[in-house]
A = this chain, B = another copy of it.
């Protein structure tokens, strides 16, 4: 279809990063498709960010991803920016981490990333442009005692993002990873403790947006988003 606006797809459109990404890209003139497993999440988001289109989608399901992206292409046009924010984590000791936990963490964070990339890369290659931003975490870089499932999944995602970047930067597709190193404020972040310790999702969204605007002679791959008071 003929587009009048660039199209951004936000995978994992929950109330924190997902909403902020949707809002930032809508504000910049993108037509935004928001994907979530829950219709109720999409309903809340649509009230919050007028004009976006919600798609119920399970990022860990091959069929669901194929169907949603197929609809997006026909209803909104070719995707210009993929913002992969789907993620789920289990924070338990190894002894309390089940085999199912280990698999489901990977399925959302890494397998889902692969499925969505498969949907958008071919047309971005054809266009010779596009942006794919993955939202990573501290755990993308290292495994800890409580993250034998989550960190492994995030490391798989990070490595995949790097493969994709090294494959497709030369074709004009900017693939990048934002390493969120801290706790993200929910909407009512005042309730969660000192403001200073929480990341404003709007700041992550701003970083994602700035990545999409970088001059191709000086792209970044991996960028941290870390509260100034965080210990690292």
A111 contact from B102, B139, B159, B206, Cβ within 8 A: B102
- Classify chain A's interface size: 35 or more
Q: How many copies does the complex hold?
A: 4
CA distance A99 to B60 in the complex (A): 12
Name the residue among A110, A152, A154, A224 with the largest chain B CB count within 10 angstroms: A152
Tell me whether A99 and B62 are in contact (CB under 8 A).
yes
Which residues of the partner chain B approach A182 to less than 8 Å between Cβ atoms? Answer: 217-218
- Shortest Cβ distance from residue A26 to the other chain B in the assembled complex, whole angstroms: 19
Does A161 make an interface contact (CB < 8 A)? yes
Which residues of the partner chain B approach A216 to less than 8 Å between Cβ atoms? Answer: 227-228
Does A24 make an interface contact (CB < 8 A)? no
> Within A63-103, which residues are at the interface with B (CB < 8 Å)?
93-95, 99, 102-103
Q: A199-B218, A214-B203, A215-B206 are in contact. Are A167 and B145 (CB under 8 A)?
A: yes
Which residues of the partner chain B approach A199 to less than 8 Å between Cβ atoms? Answer: 217-218
CA distance A50 to B139 in the complex (A): 44
Tell me whether B228 and A224 are in contact (CB under 8 A).
no
Q: Write the chain B residue with the least CB distance to A158.
A: B155
Does A46 make an interface contact (CB < 8 A)? no
Does A40 make an interface contact (CB < 8 A)? no
A207 contact from B118, B220, B230, Cβ within 8 A: B220
- Give 14 A-B contacts (CB < 8 Å), ordered by A residue: A94-B117, A102-B111, A114-B152, A139-B159, A143-B158, A145-B167, A152-B157, A156-B156, A169-B228, A198-B217, A203-B217, A217-B227, A218-B227, A219-B227
Q: Nearest 5 pairs between A and B by C-beta?
A: A143-B163, A155-B159, A203-B218, A143-B162, A203-B215
Question: Which positions in A face B, CB cutoff 8 Å?
Answer: 62, 93-95, 99, 102-103, 106, 110-111, 114-115, 117-118, 121-122, 139, 142-145, 147-148, 151-164, 166-170, 172, 174, 180, 182, 185, 195-196, 198-200, 202-204, 206-207, 210, 214-232
